[in-house]
Amino acid sequence: MSNKVIYAFYNDDDILMDAVKKTRAAHHHIEEVFCPFPVHGLDKAMGLAPTRLAICSFIYGCIGLSFAVWMMNYIMIQDWPQDIGGKPSFSYIENMPSFVPIMFELTVFFAAHLMVITFYMRSRLWPFKEAENPDVRTTDDHFLMEVAIKGNEEEMVSFFQNTGAVEVKVIDKH
Amino acid sequence: MYTFSSKLKTFSFILMALGLLGIGYGFYTAPKDIQEVEKILAAQSHGGHGEAAHEASMPTEASHEATAVDTDVIKGDAAVAVLTTEDTTKVTEEVQIEPISAQPIVKKESHVVSEEEAHAEHLNHVLHQLQNKPWSAFYVACIFFMLISLGVLAFYAIQYVSQAGWSPVLFRVMQGITAYLPVGSVIFFIFLVLSGLHLNHLFVWLDPEVVATDKLIANKSGYLNFPFWIIRAAIFLIGWNLYNYYTRKNCLAQDESNDNSNYKKNFNISAIFLVFFIVTESIMSWDWIMSIDPHWFSTLFGWYVFSSFFVSAITTIALVTLYLKSKGVLEFVNTSHIHDLAKFMFGFSVFWTYLWFSQFVLIWYANIPEEVTYFITRIEVYNLPFFAAVVMNFVFPLLILINTDFKRITWVLVMAGIVILMGHYLDFFLMIMPGTVGDQWFIGVSEIASVLFFLGLFIYVVFTALTKAPLLPKRNPFIDESKHFHY
């Protein structure tokens, strides 16, 4: 069975939003929407689940903090507790204030960098990755909605033409 | 229009009445002379050794914990002293209340004389601390509530000047809270005058005898002298209250006018106020808080005090807004407005911690004796409140308010808000008490009663002011944006 999709092009984000709402109401499955810039509220209109990136970041921050505490406890207190300028290195807590800047920075470092890497991995972004945009205009001034065809093809095409699309294409996707 | 519910009114009256009774009790039970102090201390040190029954009087409980710490030190001293004298019982009795006695003494006669002198001096010291206790308790609560309304005023001015699009629906709530400022200022100013009349010993540099013998303070007397100090206080308080008066007047006039001239006027005076505020706020913190410890100084103290009352002020706005919203009188306030306030609470809690830590770590790290005594007193004598303040003002809000969903849930915000406010009361307590009552501190009747009194007064004044004007400004240029604000 051929895997056909409809490419519906729009040239305004308001029209796109309306089209997305209509498409969802008509129970057509939206595969993807390509936009040249973020459209506020599009994720809600499409019914996408909220991101969990912030939760990841919090966990990474906790790991960073633990790493900083472990590292400085090992180096400064356990391994070689020298007297450096009279700072008390008898226990971690006694010299804790001088470790706080590092604890803070490592927390931020881990939280930020690991979150960014998580983002790249989850959205499959890396150098030399082949671009996936189905039409070059989607990076400039056109919005594209990709919908899988199920049932009557002509009916669907006319449905999308009525949603304000400037162009509707049927593509055989492999 | 909002109507002050009779229940809340009665509640505020009960708070004020209870508070007044407690404040009166605190002053009544403060020791009047050295003999009373001696009795209290004797009862305490016996209690410390677990011998005699505990006296039920308030100051006894107040300093009980502190003396328990002291007696450990004293026991050590006593061991030294016992070796030098035959009259063991007498010496130990003396020594229990006399920490400075570790010098080796050869003659029994001279020993007794020096001990008695030092003892009398010590009693006098403790007497001052115990007499300061009800005054300091009153002072902490008084300045705390006054600065909350000042912080709201500063926040309000910032909202005006930055032309914030989300906050105009909250302007009347903020104005209601700042209505406490004139009332609080008057009480506070009277308190400063009473201190100048030597009715208390909160500001040691106000005592001419101290200035005469203390070179460090004498050198600062060009700045720290009563006339200059009280004139500064008057200028600051009048300046803040003038802005408070005119901005509300313009805001109400804007409702009825046909153009935006009142709004523009408010914009201009808000900008001028903010400049005036940041200068006076800084000096205010030296005058009213840092001068409690006139031997100590810190350059970021003004910012530190600011961050403390500013976050309390934003928390107060959030709590009053949530209360009014729950009464259904703030039609246009939605969870996004609440969310924004919660973000400010979160952000400024972290800001406070940043300044708290910066001040602490720089002094701790360099460990210069003339600066570090400030923190040594706090860590040794005020250990629990000192670190509890960090937990309440940083760790708790950090973990609770970091979650986006939580920032929209009323009960979470109310809980976090109450912890933040208590934490910042504790913060002011820690700025003032160690310099005035030292190791005789306790959060007892005087302290709680003062807070209750000012809380009652605050609620009464604020909610009375809220009934005076509609809760939604009519012709503010940003009001439509604010009504439809969503995040």
pLDDT for position A4: 86
CA distance B236 to A123: 56
Residue A86 near chain B (CB below 8 Å): yes
Q: Residue A156 is inside which H or E element, if any?
A: helix A153-161
pLDDT for position B385: 95
Residues B25-33, mean pLDDT to the nearest whole number: 88
Alpha helices in B50-179 (DSSP H): 58-84, 88-96, 108-161, 171-178
CA distance A1 to B79: 98
Closest-CA residue of A relative to B402 is: A58
Above 80 in pLDDT, residue B90?
A: no
Closest-CA residue of A relative to B357 is: A97
CA distance A70 to B364: 23
pLDDT for position B175: 95
How close, in Å, is residue A160 to chain B by CA atoms? 31
Q: What is the pLDDT of residues A94-146, one digit of tens each?
A: 999 999 999 999 999 999 999 999 999 999 999 999 988 889 999 999 999 99
Residue A100 near chain B (CB below 8 Å): yes
Q: What is the pLDDT of residues B306-329, one digit of tens each?
A: 999 999 999 999 999 999 999 999
Above 80 in pLDDT, residue B82?
A: no
pLDDT for position B79: 41
Residues B213-228, mean pLDDT to the nearest whole number: 93
pLDDT for position B398: 95
Tokens of B372: 């570090």
Across the interface, whether the CB atoms of B402 and A58 are under 8 A apart is answered: yes
Predicted confidence band of residue B2 (pLDDT cuts 50, 70, 90): confident
Q: What is the mean pLDDT of chain B?
A: 86
pLDDT for position B363: 95
- Portion of chain B with pLDDT greater than 90, in percent: 72
pLDDT for position B46: 60
Above 70 in pLDDT, residue B199?
A: yes
How close, in Å, is residue B93 to chain A by CA atoms? 36
- B chain contacts of residue A100, beta-carbon cutoff 8 Å: 357, 361
Say whether pTM exceeds 0.90: no
Alpha helices in B301-444 (DSSP H): 301-326, 335-366, 369-381, 383-390, 396-401, 410-436
Across the interface, of B360, B402, B404, the residue whose CB is closest to A97 is B360
How close, in Å, is residue A42 to chain B by CA atoms? 14
pLDDT for position B121: 84
Q: How many CB atoms lie within 10 A of CB A40?
A: 9
Residue A98 near chain B (CB below 8 Å): yes
DSSP B85: -
CA distance A173 to B15: 74
- For strands A167-173 and A3-10, give the pairing: antiparallel
Above 60 in pLDDT, residue B107?
A: no
CA B359 to chain centre: 18
Q: What is the pLDDT of residues B126-177, one digit of tens each?
A: 888 888 999 999 999 999 999 999 999 999 999 999 999 999 999 999 999 9
Residues A42-61, mean pLDDT to the nearest whole number: 94
Above 50 in pLDDT, residue B84?
A: no
Residues A159-163, mean pLDDT to the nearest whole number: 88
CB B384 within 8 A of CB B430: no
For chain A, the farthest-separated pair of C-alpha atoms sits apart, in whole angstroms, at 83
- A chain contacts of residue B364, beta-carbon cutoff 8 Å: 97
Across the interface, whether the CB atoms of A97 and B367 are under 8 A apart is answered: no
Range in B41-45, B114-118, B204-208, B435-439 the model is least confident about? B41-45
- B chain contacts of residue A98, beta-carbon cutoff 8 Å: 361, 365
pLDDT for position A2: 66
- ipTM of the shown complex: 0.90
CA distance B357 to B376: 15
In B423-481, which ranges are E strands? none
The residue with greater pLDDT, B120 or A57, is A57
Above 80 in pLDDT, residue B241?
A: yes
Could you give the 3-state DSSP secondary structure of residue A48? Answer: coil
Best residue of B351, B361, B376 to probe chain A, by most A CBs closer than 10 Å: B361
Above 60 in pLDDT, residue A35?
A: yes
Above 50 in pLDDT, residue B184?
A: yes
Predicted confidence band of residue B87 (pLDDT cuts 50, 70, 90): very low
Surface of A (52-81) touching B: CB under 8 A: 54, 58
The three-point CA angle B280-B283-B289 to 5° equals: 120
Q: What sign for the dihedral angle of Cα B59, B64, B69, B74?
A: positive
The three-point CA angle B15-B17-B21 to 5° equals: 115
- B chain contacts of residue A58, beta-carbon cutoff 8 Å: 402
pLDDT for position A151: 79
Q: Which of B296, B75, B301 is nearest to B204 (CA)?
A: B296
Closest-CA residue of A relative to B363 is: A97
